Chains A and B, each alone.
Chain A
Amino acid sequence: MMTFTEYAGSFQKTAVSFWHGLSITMSHLFRRPMTVQYPDRTPLPVRDMLPPRYRGFLEVDTAICTGCQACERACPIACIQITLEKDPANPKQRLVTQFDIDEAKCMFCGLCVEPCPTGSIQHTREFEGSVANIRNLVFRWSDPVKPFPVYRVEKGAEYFARAPLGSLVRARLEAARWNAAAVEYLPPEPPAPAVAPVPAAAPAPPTPTNPETK
């Protein structure tokens, strides 16, 4: 059983505990706040304050893409889709007719960036991509009407000039309104054949069904 001294002592200890806790709380009045107000009160745009290794939206510089499909094979969830075709005008030249990255599906693991031989596919520091229609997050880096030819690596090349990292993604994000209509990939449904409206027939009497013969 608790003696009176212990009982009174616990009061004293509680009071001391309060003093310790509240003194720390009080000291925070004189400390610098840790929180920042996103997005407009930061000294720089948040994307410029992120570390360079930040894994944001994927960006492909089509000028130095070799069409090797290493990124497509490395992707664990198959959110990269690449199609290569021969150039009808020049049979030796291959064209990338499709280079789609589904950024809505991407889990930003960075496995596709590592095998790229020229550094064409890179993570950027762009992350503000909220859109009303999720299909607008499929970034089509190759125009199917005007596909880009694959880049040929010169022998002994060590450095591949690349567009400034993030500029291509940012141009795309800024070009599209956040609530733009979703892209239609499938051809539209063929119009229904004109059929004369059938007059509503009287409902047929329910036919008794025999479950055994069914």
Chain B
Amino acid sequence: MEKLILRRVDRNNEEMILNFGPQHPSTHGVINFIVETDGEVLRKAVPDVGYLHRSIEKIGESTGYHGFMPYTDRIDYVAAMFPNEGYAMVVERLCGIQVPKRALYLRAISTELCRIASHLVSIGTMTMDIGAFTPMIHGIRERETINDLIEALCGARLTYNYHRIGGVAFDLPEGWRDKTLAFLDHFDKFLVEFDRLISFNEIYIKRLANVAVIPGPMAVDYGLSGPNLRGSGVDFDLRKAMPYGVYPEFEFDVPVGKGMFGQVGDCFDRYICRTREMGESSKIVRQALDLIQQAPEGDIVAPKVARNLKVEAGEALSRVESARGEMAFYLVADGTNRAWRVRTRTGSFTAMGIIEAISPGLMVADLVALIASLDVVAPEIDR
């Protein structure tokens, strides 16, 4: 890094080394990019992460097993249900706790609603980075309804802390099912309207098609996951490939980038993957709301989970398909009431790695499109 900054710059051409960020609105948080430009063309963009590091993994070693759950919200605050679920799953695996069926349905409902909310923010900010302001307002408007629903479900709008080790915290409130179904009916119409509004807007397509193409093999090599990987044409979804929870019971498709207006793996493919995934999530929530009626009521937490949980020495790994890619929790226990090591793998962090490889030859404005299409969230990168 230092070498890059201190390198002699040839003054005969228009070469410059610039800091893009860390306080730039289109870097989606506190991320710095050291950008080597030649006029308007990028020579290289090197992400410089670490501005939002809060040592959450270390905190996991000092709080108890239950006490770490609210901290996992802060790993990815745009989609806080996923780290909740991942952490709960890893402790359950380590202790061999059987989660009640109803709790698994509630987990699926809450995480899929959260995925919709997260993708709405993602595509909203992406359109805004490209220059279209209205779609972001539309996305945030729909997300507000989801926030209200989740607030009625668990009491918080952003840092949910809804999942517990062995289940979830609350059952469905009265009338929640009807409200959610009404919202989903409205939301399916909204998706059609959103496609008319911006997705198939000619200017938007021209702006994103064939920009920052990530071929499938390269995406696999760099460890991309989630919609970024599927946008490159690789059909890999943890909900299908390694099903967890109640996902085997649901019928849904995995949208894969097909190069709709350009090459496979361009910014538009990643964008359209997210919009299609919201429709699939909507399907899953509907099915889960139907299936949950067969599960016995009130049975939402596994019995006999000690309040001061002591976990036998061992290690476990859980993998969750988060809105931003694969989220994995790796936990090592040493027999006390505190974890010996908590490690988190997040999708945004691996997405940062590919920027340096993709950036040469892009325009400066296309770097913004690339960052937006990778849907990185700064706290998830640094944790």
Contact = CB atoms under 8 A, between A and B. Distances in A.
Contacts, number: 75
Given A14-B202, A14-B203, A53-B173, A21 B64 contact: no
Given A53-B154, A55-B156, A24 B67 contact: no
A28 to B, nearest CB: 9
Contact of B64 (A13, A25, A76, A114): A76
A54 interface: yes
A74 B67 contact: yes
A24 B307 contact: no
Interface stretch (A104-112, A147-155, A182-190): A104-112
Contacts of A13: 202
Interface in A109-147: 109-111, 114-115, 123
B18 interface: no
Nearest to B193: A24
Nearest to B308: A73
B152 A51 contact: yes
Contacts of A74: 66-67, 307
Nearest to B142: A34
A16 B198 CA distance: 12
A179 interface: no
Interface in A34-86: 34, 50-55, 70, 73-76
B169 A110 contact: yes
B151 A54 contact: yes
Using C-beta atoms within 8 Å of the partner chain, give the interface range for chain B: 20 to 34
B91 to A, nearest CB: 15
A93 interface: no
Given A21-B134, A24-B196, A74-B307, A111 B155 contact: no
Nearest to A115: B307
A73 B67 CA distance: 10
Interface in B36-84: 63-64, 66-71
B151 A17 contact: no
A162 interface: no
A17 B68 contact: no
B219 to A, nearest CB: 29
A167 interface: no
B200 interface: yes
Contacts of B67: 74-76, 111
Contact of A114 (B63, B169, B203): B169
A20 interface: yes
A111 B69 contact: yes
Interface string B173-199: 100000000000000000001001110
A177 to B, nearest CB: 29
B193 to A, nearest CB: 6
B26 interface: no
Interface in B305-328: 307-308
B216 to A, nearest CB: 28
A145 B155 CA distance: 35
A109 B202 contact: no
Given A34-B144, A51-B151, A53-B153, A110 B161 contact: yes
Interchain residue pairs A-B with the least CB separation, the first 3: A76-B67, A109-B70, A51-B152
14 contacts: A10-B202, A17-B202, A17-B203, A17-B204, A20-B201, A21-B196, A21-B201, A24-B193, A24-B196, A51-B151, A54-B155, A76-B68, A107-B159, A111-B66
Interface of B: 63-64, 66-71, 134, 141, 144, 151-156, 159, 161, 169-170, 173, 193, 196-198, 200-204, 206, 307-308
Given A70-B307, A108-B156, A123-B155, 13 more contacts: A10-B206, A14-B202, A16-B202, A21-B197, A50-B151, A51-B151, A51-B155, A54-B151, A54-B155, A55-B156, A108-B159, A111-B161, A115-B307
